């Protein structure tokens, strides 16, 4: 099994390019954001708790997200691997993911990083708020908090995965969606 992590700040294009990567390499795309939005839409207790945290620009507790991901690993069949999007978001989650995979006799295959500037993050998040009707993406204070949280909690994962020899970076700041997709697919192809 392959276990890829799609990494980058909010608005980097993880969701935009995940489908193409997953389709080309027969991977199951697991978006923690989509898993959580499904819980919110279903009105579950987890969904209500998650919505309050997300609306404030905060993160959902690790144990909840990890449980959803481990369940996906257990139940999804007929794929050559998984493409994790939005997980891990911090060093504790990365260590927990290593433990989850170790129990299976597996390990993270590679981290595919899409990197963009803070200015591009703001532009893209505001754009998707309009396109997708995501109110949590429209508020400047929430966006600023997301950027701050990314730099403080998620960005240190770069060094964690670089030290493991599993970190591969792609510039997602330039050109069209198609240009960026071609760069991302070429990067994945180079680490197959």
The ranges assigned to domains in the chain are: 2-190
The pTM of this model reads: 0.83
In terms of Cα–Cα distance, which of 28, 8, 18, 19 is closest to 124?
8
The catalytically annotated residue of 28, 37, 122, 134 is 134
The catalytically annotated residue of 2, 51, 124, 146 is 146
Q: Is 146 a catalytic residue?
A: yes
Length of the chain: 192
For residues 112 and 85, the answer to whether their CB atoms sit within 8 Å is no
Q: Is 128 a catalytic residue?
A: yes
Q: Is 14 a catalytic residue?
A: yes
The catalytically annotated residue of 28, 122, 128, 158 is 128
The mean predicted confidence, pLDDT, of the chain is 89
d(CA 79, CA 164) in angstroms, rounded, equals 25
pLDDT of residue 137: 67
The catalytically annotated residue of 51, 89, 124, 181 is 89
Give the CATH superfamily of 2-190: P-loop containing nucleotide triphosphate hydrolases (3.40.50.300)
List all residues 6 or more positions away from 82 whose beta carbon is below 8 Å from its beta carbon: 1, 2, 3, 4, 27, 28, 29, 30, 72, 73, 76
- Does the structure show a pLDDT above 70 at 136? no
d(CA 68, CA 82) in angstroms, rounded, equals 14
Q: Where are the alpha helices (DSSP H) in 104-156?
A: 118-132, 140-149
Give 85-102 pLDDT, tens digit per residue: 989 988 999 999 999 999
């Amino acid at each position: 099994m392959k276990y890829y992590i799609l990494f980058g700040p909010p608005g980097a294009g993880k969701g935009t390019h995940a489908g193409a990567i997953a389709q080309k390499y027969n991977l199951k795309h697991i978006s923690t954001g989509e898993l959580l939005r499904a819980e919110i839409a279903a009105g579950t207790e987890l969904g209500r708790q998650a919505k309050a945290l997300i609306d404030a620009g905060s993160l959902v507790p690790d144990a909840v997200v990890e449980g959803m991901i481990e369940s996906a690993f257990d139940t999804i069949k007929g794929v050559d691997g998984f493409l994790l999007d939005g997980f891990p978001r911090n060093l504790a989650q990365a260590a927990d993911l290593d433990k989850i995979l170790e129990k299976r006799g597996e390990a993270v295959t590679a981290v595919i990083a899409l990197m963009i500037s803070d200015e591009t993050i703001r532009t893209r998040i505001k754009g998707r708020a309009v396109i997708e009707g995501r109110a949590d993406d429209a508020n400047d204070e929430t966006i600023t908090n997301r950027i701050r949280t990314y730099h403080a909690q998620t960005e240190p994962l770069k060094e964690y995965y670089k030290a493991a020899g599993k970190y591969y970076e792609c510039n997602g700041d330039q050109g069209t969606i198609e240009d960026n997709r071609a760069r991302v697919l070429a990067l994945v192809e180079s680490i197959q």
